Structure 1
Amino acid sequence: MSTFDKTGLSRRLLLAGGGAIGVAATIGAAPASGAGRELPTSPFTLGVASGDPDDNGFVLWTRLAVDPHAEDGMGGMPDRVFEVRWELAADERFRHVVRNGVATARPAWGHSVHVELHGLRPDAWYWYRFRVGRHVSPAGRTRTAPSRWSNPNLLNLAFVSCSQFEHGYFTAYKRLAETDPDLVLHLGDYQYEYKAGVYNIPGGNPRDHEGPETETLANYRQRHAQYKTDPDLQQAHAAAPWAVVFDDHEVENNWAGDIPEEPHDNWYDRRVAAFRAYYENMPLRRTSVPKGLDIQIYRRLQWGRLATFHMLDTRQFRDDQACGDGYQTCPEADNPARSITGPEQEAWLLDGFHRSDARWDVLGQQVFFAQRDQTAGPVKKTSMDAWDGYTASRRRITQGWLDAGVRNPVVLTGDVHSHWAADLKLDYDDPTSRTVGSELVCTSITSGGDGKDTNPTDNAQLKINPHVKFYNNQRGWVSAKVSQTEINADFMVVPYVHTPGAEAHVKASFAIEDRVPGVQQTYLRPVDPAAPGLRSTPDEFGDGYYGDGSPTP
């Protein structure tokens, strides 16, 4: 762990931000290219990132942009290739450089850089940075996973979702970075597609999107660049490696497979553009380079024998939502032919269960897995955009981990703009049926505005769905310590996001014990009636702000 100064910020994090520039000034013996000297200002306005660690490497990322908000999506960069020097060190002052090289930033890929490294030591921390001409990037910190056959004692995991730039400041990203995570999972809605003035919170949005609704490659590149200029997001990316998956808003609200939210002529072109921009702006391996309409985003990460992360794609291959996108009473949701993963991904996941020798099998995915019935009594009203709209698909996956003898199945979820914890069942209609897994749901970084501190016992869904154990409608993330004996999850919240600078605290803590499926509450902070939180409107089901992500009517 880093030592902390009197400001409460770790010295390592200060180096990972703008304070790293002076230290990094020695990178390389000469400018990387003649073109680099022509840039009047630094092209590293979007920060740096790393991702998808394994036990011998990871991906390093940056994207060059001297004018991030340029409408053509090219970041104000000249229409030419740039050579980008990169450097990897075993210490934060780069006294022990272990790898270096030159990557090519091409206009065709938005001047993005993906350096995929192999042959590094397992279970080791590294620092990295980039240079173009005289301009040097901030430094980032990353790490390899433990050896595939090792049994690590602890993983400090964080997972997040739903960062709507307009709805507030990314303070939760900053506070997350200060906890020194080993790995960050982003479970979708990294950016939102709306133009300014469409998706509003009561009292007005604290800040606005640049440009129109994202439909073209230029639009998506500009939007990603606007998000990446946020200093709190940059700090979170520079603190640890990320593993990312998208949900709907990276393309368009509530899209499903080949079907857009509403019919329009440019849907396929829009999807191609969104996938290309997503890859350009994320620390993904070359296996995720999009091929036209398709992108390979579901994949596995190993953390020794401690945990296997099955990162899912619940958008690209799903059947269309039954009976519409919202909360419905819908017999078609139970159609056994319907799938949220598609048959190929489902077979891949079930095979992964059978092959796994991990202590914890973790599904990193986008939408609520457990049943959430909105009405008391025999008639169900559930979300068609979540696994409730694909009940046979959910049952096959759940039965699959039981048949495979998965030791500890845990589902991590985003999307609904509020914190939840739930026991997972094969039969949700029988409260006495055995618990067969656990679900932890993180709230949004900003989406929905401030939110408000809530007493979980006041939520009607917890009474209707006794397998659901916790709810809170504030912004934040989940920090989880994964050990050999249990997962201890802290539901972290910030009291407001309409202005920057809020401190974070633990709202509740839950434990999942080894070989004991289900969640056990270990701490709950009482509601503070004086706490701020008026700049949001919960929907009628307590999801924080229209859990499907749609704008207010």
Structure 2
Amino acid sequence: MGVGREVTRRSFLVAGIGAAALGAAPRAGAGARPADPFTLGVASGDPGHRGFVLWTRLAPRPLNDDGLGGMPRRDVTVEWVLARDERFRRVERRGTVVARAASAHSVHVELGGLDPGREYWYRFRAQGHVSPAGRTRTAPSPGAYGGPLRMAFASCSQYEHGYFTAYRRLAEDDPDLVLHLGDYLYEYAPNVYVAGDMNVRHHAGPETVTLANYRQRHAQYKTDPDLRAAHAAAPWLVVWDDHELDNNWAGYVPEIPDPPAPQPDMRARRAAAFRAYYENMPLRRSAIPRGPAMRLHRRVRWGRLAAFHMLDTRQYRHDQACGDGFKECPEAYLPGRTILGPEQERWLAEGFRRSEARWDLLGQQAFFGQRDADESVRKVTNMDAWDGYAACRDRVARSWMRGGVRNAVVLTGDVHAHWAGELKLDYDDPSAPSIGTELVTTSITSGGDGADSDPAEQPMLWINPHLRFHNNQRGYVLTRITKEAISAEFRVVPAVTRPGAPAHTKARFVIADRDPRLHLEYLRPYTGPALRSDAAVIRDTIARETDRP
């Protein structure tokens, strides 16, 4: 092509080549037409070696209280086009799809029959307007490794707590694939969940409990230009955590079983949240919800290089033991407790048994490895994480060992801080061999600016020697996956309460093939203030993971 990949991609992101037309757009003054319906941008997702899903939703007035985005209550025809180049000179496919009023005028174009392992560009046209363009790609052929995979993963973007600068920096880091591991949005009414002294932005509408509420909230988040840029940069694999529905929900149990104000029952609220989630995400038809149920766990293969096992740790779990939060709780170790549900546990074990991938990666929401917050013989762990379902964690770890998984890597969100650790069967024995690795991304904004952390002065690392790294700034994780190794960069931005901050790498670890240990390659020196007491640091860690103040 005569232009390097990096130059081409950055010119696409910065200059917005995607604004070029599907066809000649009407000239100014040529006649009245509706307002631009593409305020929510475009997205793609769930890539296979022969295709992917293209997504958009029409919403000229995205914050309307009825959740319908200012669209008429009738179906609208939308044109789409897929090309092999960003200037759309080599069109691969084109067609039309109906954006149905009953689905909030969202569209999902599920394509197949494409070439493996290549980039494509796409866009839409409706009501005289052309959408921005997005870039997507297919996975390599099932028997091929393909080149290095640049995969980024992120979690926890509370709109009120800051600007989504980290999404913009993620897009500029040129990923081939993005995993979003939950808390894509937050359900709270304005100023219920406050970071620091005050929130820098505000939610539209009340706490989300109805379909109209959830549709409006999804639309508000996608009005953010940095989030739209991240969606347009690469295909996404998405799974939810709790805030897409209700803080710390478990199965059919809400956070507050008997709320003070009348609300829909949990089945109705689940159905509303799941429907809005599907409407607003680039998911395949297999994920279409059926009332209060939605099949979100799935497996996505990236040739022979990687298998992504995307998990749902909310819909099928038992209720949290001993209440939420960090507790000393014998109930957490009962053998029958599960965070996945029996069917998903069996599905995951079978996937491990059949896997031929070099790397098996679990995309999921809750901290997997043990984190004990007490220096004494007591064990104080987080009941909302896998620590509250210890027997299930043991079953999953043993299933990847029995299945002969070559390299097991758990990718985690939820906790609003970067962590990295090695996984064990026996966390009480420091000499026990490592059987896998966990990489945890911090939040995009949740918790506000945060602060730099000195890894050498972290009591949670002393208490849990299998944990190797912690940092409390905002950001995401960028990985480079090859046959030989995974390199993981913990990317951070210094502030989110003001827009436009740069990003830098706080730490970089390498996981070598067949070596389930973390090898530190780079660590940026600590630049923060003098440290506080060990007890204060632990209290802050616990408080950060209790979303409702």
TM-score under structure 2 length normalisation = 0.95
**RMSD value, Cα:** 1.8
SS of match in other structure, 1:347: helix
> Which residue in the other structure is 1:13 paired with?
13
Equivalent pair of 1:539/1:545 in contact (CA under 8 Å): no
SS of match in other structure, 2:37: coil
Mapped to 2, the partners of 1:270 and 1:452 lie a distance apart of 36
After superposition, the C-alpha distances for 1:61-104 in whole angstroms (9 at most, x for unaligned) are: 00000100000000010100000000000000100101000011
The residue type equivalent to 2:18 in the other structure is A
For 1:335-346, list aligned pairs within 5 A: 335-346=334-345
Change in 2 beyond 3 A, CA 1:27/1:261: farther
Equivalent pair of 2:443/2:475 in contact (CA under 8 Å): yes
Does 2:162 align with 1:168?
yes
Shift in Å, 1:326: 0.8
> Which residue in the other structure is 1:100 paired with?
94
Change in 2 beyond 3 A, CA 1:530/1:20: farther
Equivalent pair of 1:416/1:547 in contact (CA under 8 Å): yes
Comparing 146-155 with 191-200, greater Cα deviation is found at 146-155
The residue type equivalent to 2:53 in the other structure is V
Which one of 18, 41, 52 corresponds to residue 47 of structure 1?
41
SS of match in other structure, 1:66: coil
Structure 1: 5+ residue runs without aligned partners?
32-36, 532-537
> Which residue in the other structure is 2:371 paired with?
372
The residue type equivalent to 1:543 in the other structure is T
Shift in Å, 1:405: 1.1
Mapped to 2, the partners of 1:542 and 1:514 lie a distance apart of 35
The residue type equivalent to 1:245 in the other structure is V
Structure 2: 5+ residue runs without aligned partners?
531-535
Aligned length: 533
> Which residue in the other structure is 1:276 paired with?
275
SS of match in other structure, 1:350: helix
> Which residue in the other structure is 2:548 paired with?
551
Equivalent pair of 2:460/2:538 in contact (CA under 8 Å): no
> Which residue in the other structure is 1:324 paired with?
323
The residue type equivalent to 1:20 in the other structure is G
The residue type equivalent to 1:13 in the other structure is L
Mapped to 1, the partners of 2:335 and 2:226 lie a distance apart of 44
Change in 2 beyond 3 A, CA 1:175/1:74: same
Does 2:466 align with 1:472?
no
Shift in Å, 1:25: 5.0
After superposition, the C-alpha distances for 1:216-269 in whole angstroms (9 at most, x for unaligned) are: 000000000000000000000000000000000000000001111111452221
Mapped to 1, the partners of 2:414 and 2:296 lie a distance apart of 17
Shift in Å, 1:197: 1.2
The residue type equivalent to 1:156 in the other structure is R
Which one of 24, 27, 45 corresponds to residue 21 of structure 2?
24
Shift in Å, 1:10: 1.4
Which one of 186, 192, 210 corresponds to residue 204 of structure 2?
210
Shift in Å, 1:307: 0.3
Does 2:292 align with 1:314?
no
Shift in Å, 1:461: 0.6
Equivalent pair of 2:326/2:542 in contact (CA under 8 Å): no
> Which residue in the other structure is 1:196 paired with?
190
Equivalent pair of 2:453/2:528 in contact (CA under 8 Å): no
> Which residue in the other structure is 1:119 paired with?
113
Which one of 156, 181, 184 corresponds to residue 187 of structure 1?
181
The residue type equivalent to 2:43 in the other structure is A
Equivalent pair of 1:50/1:237 in contact (CA under 8 Å): yes
Change in 2 beyond 3 A, CA 1:509/1:542: farther
> Which residue in the other structure is 1:534 paired with?
none
Equivalent pair of 1:191/1:223 in contact (CA under 8 Å): yes
Change in 2 beyond 3 A, CA 1:492/1:67: same
Shift in Å, 1:540: 4.0
Which one of 50, 59, 67 corresponds to residue 61 of structure 2?
67
Mapped to 2, the partners of 1:370 and 1:496 lie a distance apart of 28
Shift in Å, 1:3: 4.7
Shift in Å, 1:2: 3.7
The residue type equivalent to 2:548 in the other structure is P
Mapped to 1, the partners of 2:385 and 2:519 lie a distance apart of 24
> Which residue in the other structure is 1:447 paired with?
446
Shift in Å, 1:519: 1.2
Shift in Å, 1:107: 1.0
Equivalent pair of 1:417/1:543 in contact (CA under 8 Å): no
Identity %: 59
Shift in Å, 1:527: 1.4
Shift in Å, 1:46: 0.2
